Amino acid sequence: MSDTVESVIVAIDGPSGTGKSSTSKAVASALGLSYLDTGAQYRAITWWMLSNGIDTADPLAIASAAGKPVIESGTDPAAPAITVDGVDASGPIRTQEVTSKVSAVSAVPEVREVITGLQRSIAAAAARGIVVEGRDIGTTVLPDADLKIFLTASPEARAARRSGEIKGSDVAATRAALVARDAADSGRKTSPLAKADDAVEVDTTELTLQQVVERVVALVEERRDALPGAGERTAAR
C-alpha cells in the first residue's frame, strides 16, 4: 500500500430498499469519504414541481421548469442535507406524495441533464473521494468510477425493510408500490436503473447491513490499493 491515500470514486446503484443509502453512508464514514444521495436530488426537484403548481403528468411543463430550482446537497455522511432555493427539504422530500411522483419527474430528460450536471460537479469537488448512490451512477453519471456496486434483494425483503420504517404500514401494499416504481425506473428511456457491465453485484437478501458494509469496504480498499499514484492518475484522466 502507498503512503498517500488515493481519492476514490464509488458508485452504488440498485432498486429501492436494497440498502443503498445505509450502505453508502456507512462506507463513506468508515473510509473518510464524501457521500451523495442522488435520489434525494430527484425527490427535491419533484417537491419543487409539486410546490410550484407544475403538473407532474405533463413532461413538457416539467422540462421547461427543470432549470429553475436551486438544489444544494451536503456531502457529510454523518449529516446528509439537501436544500431547495435555500430551504431545508430533507423532511418534505420523504412524503408519500413525492414518492409517488418522483419516477415521472425523474424520467424527463431535461431534469436528468440538470441533476446529472450537479452530481458530476459534486463528485469532481470531493478531494478524498466520494460514495455516490442512485440508479444510473455506474452507467451514466460516473462511468469512470473506480468501483461500481449493484445492490439487489428480493422484493419481499425490500418491502419488509421499507414497511419496517413506517409504523402500521401494509407490507403487501409497500411491495406493490416498490415493484411499480422499479418498473418505471428501469423502463424509462433516459438512463434507466441498470447494472453497469463492470459492476460488482451484491445480493443483500440474506446479509445483515453490517455484512454488506464490510464487503463493500473491503472492495473499496482492494480497488484503492490497486490505483496508480495520485500524480499518474490525474495525468491519465
Ligand X SMILES: Nc1ncnc2c1ncn2[C@@H]1O[C@H](COP(=O)(O)OP(=O)(O)O)[C@@H](O)[C@H]1O
Ligand Y SMILES: Nc1ccn([C@H]2C[C@H](O)[C@@H](COP(=O)(O)OP(=O)(O)O)O2)c(=O)n1
Residue span binding ligand Y (CB under 6 A) among the ranges 37-45, 74-82, 163-171, 213-221 = 37-45
40: closest CA among 109, 175, 174, 133? 133
Q: Does 212 bind ligand X (CB under 6 A)?
A: yes
Q: Does 161 bind ligand Y (CB under 6 A)?
A: no
Half-sphere exposure of 95 (CA within 13 A, CB side): 13
Residue span binding ligand Y (CB under 6 A) among the ranges 61-69, 134-142, 206-214, 221-229 = 134-142
Residue 163: what are its φ and ψ, rounded to 5°? Answer: -70, -30
Residue 170: what are its φ and ψ, rounded to 5°? Answer: -95, 120
Q: Are 189 and 175 in contact (CB under 8 A)?
A: no
In this complex, which beta carbon is closest to ligand X, that of residue 85 or of residue 162?
162
Rounded Cα gap, residues 113 and 118, in angstroms:
9
Q: Give least dist CB 206 to ligand Y, A.
A: 20
Site residues (CB under 6 A) for ligand Y, limited to 94-123: 102-103, 106
In this complex, which beta carbon is closest to ligand Y, that of residue 33 or of residue 153?
153
Residue span binding ligand X (CB under 6 A) among the ranges 11-19, 193-201, 214-222, 224-232 = 11-19
Q: Does 134 bind ligand Y (CB under 6 A)?
A: yes
Residue 90: what are its φ and ψ, rounded to 5°? Answer: -65, -30
Q: Does 224 bind ligand X (CB under 6 A)?
A: no
Identity of the residue numbered 177:
A
- The contacts of residue 229 (CB under 8 Å, 6+ apart) are 2, 4, 6
Q: List, as residue ranges, the binding site for ATP.
A: 14-22
- Give the residues lining the site for ligand Y (CB under 6 A): 16-17, 21, 38-40, 42-43, 102-103, 106, 134-137, 181, 185
